[in-house]
Amino acid sequence: MDLRARLARFPKISLAHGPTPLEPLPRLSRRLGGPDIWVKRDDCTGLATGGNKARKLEYLLADAVAREADTIITSGAPQSNHARQTAAAAAKLGLRCILALTDSVAGRAPAYRTSGNLLLDALFGAEIRHYPGTADAVAVMAEIAAECTASGRRPYAVPVGGSNAVGALGYVEAAAELLEQVEALKLVVDGIAVASGSGGTHAGLLVGIAAAGRRGGGGCRVAGFGVSAARDAQVRKVRDVVVPAAQLLGLDAGVAAAAEAAIDVDDGFVGPGYGQPHPAMEEAVRLVAETEGLLLDPVYSGKAMAGLIDGVRRGRFRSGETIVFLHTGGSVGLFAYPDVFAVRGPGDGGAAS
Per-residue pLDDT of the chain (353 residues; tens, 9 = 90+): 789 999 999 999 999 999 999 999 999 999 999 999 999 999 999 999 999 999 999 999 999 999 999 999 999 999 999 999 999 999 999 999 999 999 999 999 999 999 999 999 999 999 999 999 999 999 999 999 999 999 999 999 999 999 999 999 999 999 999 999 999 999 999 999 999 999 999 999 999 999 988 554 556 899 999 999 999 999 999 999 999 999 999 999 999 999 999 999 999 999 999 999 999 999 999 999 999 999 999 999 999 999 999 999 999 999 999 999 999 999 999 999 999 998 766 655 544 44
Helix residue ranges per DSSP H, the chain: 3-7, 26-32, 53-66, 81-93, 116-123, 137-150, 165-185, 200-212, 231-248, 253-261, 279-292, 301-314
Residue 347 lies in a domain: no
Q: Is residue 350 part of a domain?
A: no
The Cβ of residue 252 has, within 10 Å, a number of other Cβ atoms equal to 12
Check whether residue 208 and residue 64 sit in a common domain: no
| Domain count within the chain | 2
342: three-class secondary structure by DSSP:
coil
Residue 301 neighbours by CB under 8 Å, 6+ apart = 43, 195, 327, 328, 329, 330
Q: Residues 80, 115, 163, 331: which is the catalytic one?
A: 80
Establish if 19 belongs to a structural domain. Answer: yes
**pTM for the full model?**
0.95
Q: Are residues 265 and 325 in the same domain?
A: yes
DSSP tag of 43: G
Q: How far is CA 86 from CA 132, 240, 262, 336, in A?
A: 21, 22, 29, 19
Give the domain range for residue 189: 3-51+163-336
By three-state DSSP, how is residue 339 classified?
coil
User: Is 80 assigned a catalytic role?
Assistant: yes
298 and 242 in one domain? yes
Pair 148, 214 in one domain: no
Q: Do both 177 and 195 map to the same domain?
A: yes
